[in-house]
Amino acid sequence: MRVDYNTLTKTLRALTEGETDAVALMATVACEVHHSDDRFDWTGFYRVTEPELLKIGPYQGGHGCLVIPFARGVCGAAARTGEIQLVADVEAFEGHIACASSTRSELVLPVFGLNQRLLGVFDLDSDQPDAFTQADADALKSILAEVFAQAA
């Protein structure tokens, strides 16, 4: 099953309308996105909890890493640079943190809230190599921007 981003956008818009609590939004997005596509093996958020540090937030799938410094891994790179990380082969990513040994590819998007403050990152892992496309990145970036625009 492949995600239909138009339907996913409409569903998330309906579920999150008027909500500004970042954790509530993260929980809803993680659940809906995770169940929308068979490629998504682990889907969740790492929240900025102190300077240069991410801690696990709402997610779907097996256990994730509890703490990720901005200086390490794909999630850290997305938080540090503010740029989407589209990684076809996690083994080829220098400094990759193997939270799950089954992960083969990863897509991580920075998440910005009210006043463009970095709230955290949205991490999608797949047990398939090269599972994510630029189209996935673009669609999810648009969804996150809409859902979290007013999040505090």
Report pLDDT digits (tens) over 86-142. 999 998 888 777 787 789 999 999 999 999 999 999 999 999 999 999 999 999 999
Burial 68-102 (b: 16+ CB within 10 A, else e): bebebbbbbbbbbeeebbbbeebeebeebeebeee
Percent of the chain topping pLDDT 90 = 89
pLDDT over 90 (residue 9):
yes
What's the rounded Cα separation, in Å, for the pair 47 and 118? 9
Predicted TM-score (pTM) of this structure: 0.96
AA identity, residue 99:
C
